[in-house]
Structure 1
Amino acid sequence: MILRTLLAGLAGLCLTTTAAAETAELTVTFKGMTAHQGAILFVLSDSEASYDNKAPPRASGMAPVRGAEASQTLTGLAPGRYAIKAFHDVDGDGKMGTNPFGMPTEPFAFSNDAPAVMGPAPWAAAAFEVKAGRNVHQITID
């Protein structure tokens, strides 16, 4: 009886350890850029608080524009829900250009191609599932 309990416990521990060790890889492809220069700057959020700038993002990155697209692969992610905010830094100054009223002058987009209405697309519209293993997500920037 003790041996059976011990073996069951060890089997459960092995399953838990294997599940915890599973990681995800996410390749994000940005398409639709009309200016074939600069880079796409983006942040990857793993919570609504992070997406709303109330907590640090899970990751950030820069994907150089090549032709009408750019791509970046993020590794070592935990499976779960994520959302991306991105903009095309056409002039290469490292910040989103805005007009005197604060409206963006450089192209931007959100994961799921979620629309922006009087501000960023909401988390619920931009969030997508990342599973263990390889994942691909495409975003159109226009």
Structure 2
Amino acid sequence: MKTIIATIITIGLLISNLAKPCFAQTATPASNGATYSLTVVVHNVNTRSGKLYIGLANNQATFTGESFQRKVIDVTPSGELTTVFEGLPTGKYAIRLFQDLNGNQKMDFSGQMPSEPFGFSNVSMLMGPPDFDQSAIELNENKSIRVRVMEM
């Protein structure tokens, strides 16, 4: 039980910084100067209201803290939700997101449990809090990834 609570708290901390404005962006080194786009397709959105806060991380620090880049998109009445991060140099990137259902621009909890939907790239089931390496994808061409929204 302690492990489950610790996992949930850690997940909350991972995504709680997404609503903060993103000012400092640390560059990911480019090996050849080329830049690429990362298209994020969000699926399994059951509640069709609010906004999605999507954070792009380029290292562990931007995965657990302030995002390298972020997007806020409206949840549409139907279908998958898509956003594109452009001009990204070659490197590793990870996505973390949450759905703000009540417009307060933060991840809400009911006690220790997240009360709003969330998700991470490369993670469809939680077996503990994910880290940057678990969630990261290698970007060396234009890519599209799918991120599943999870609810507790």
TM-score normalised by structure 1 residue count: 0.75
Per-residue CA deviations over 1:27-62 (Å, capped at 9, x if unaligned) read 101010111111210211101122122xx4210111
Shift of 1:117: 4.1
Contact 1:64/1:71 (<8 A) preserved: no
Gaps of 5+ in 2: 1-30
Percent sequence identity over aligned pairs: 26
Computed over aligned residues only, the root mean square deviation of the Cα atoms, in angstroms, reads: 1.8
TM-score normalised by structure 2 residue count: 0.70
Larger radius of gyration between Structure 1 and Structure 2: 1
Per-residue CA deviations over 1:55-108 (Å, capped at 9, x if unaligned) read x4210111221214211111111111011111111222211111133x210011
Aligned to 1:15: none
Determine helix, strand or coil for the equivalent of 2:94: strand
Of 34, 57, 81, the residue aligned with 1:70 is 81
Aligned to 1:124: 133
Aligned to 1:140: 148
Determine helix, strand or coil for the equivalent of 2:109: coil
Of 50, 60, 70, the residue aligned with 1:38 is 50
Runs of 4+ in 1 over 2 A off after TM superposition: 113-118
Determine helix, strand or coil for the equivalent of 1:86: strand
Q: Does 1:19 align with 2:32?
A: yes
* One-letter identity of the residue aligned with 1:85: R
Question: How many aligned positions are there?
Answer: 119
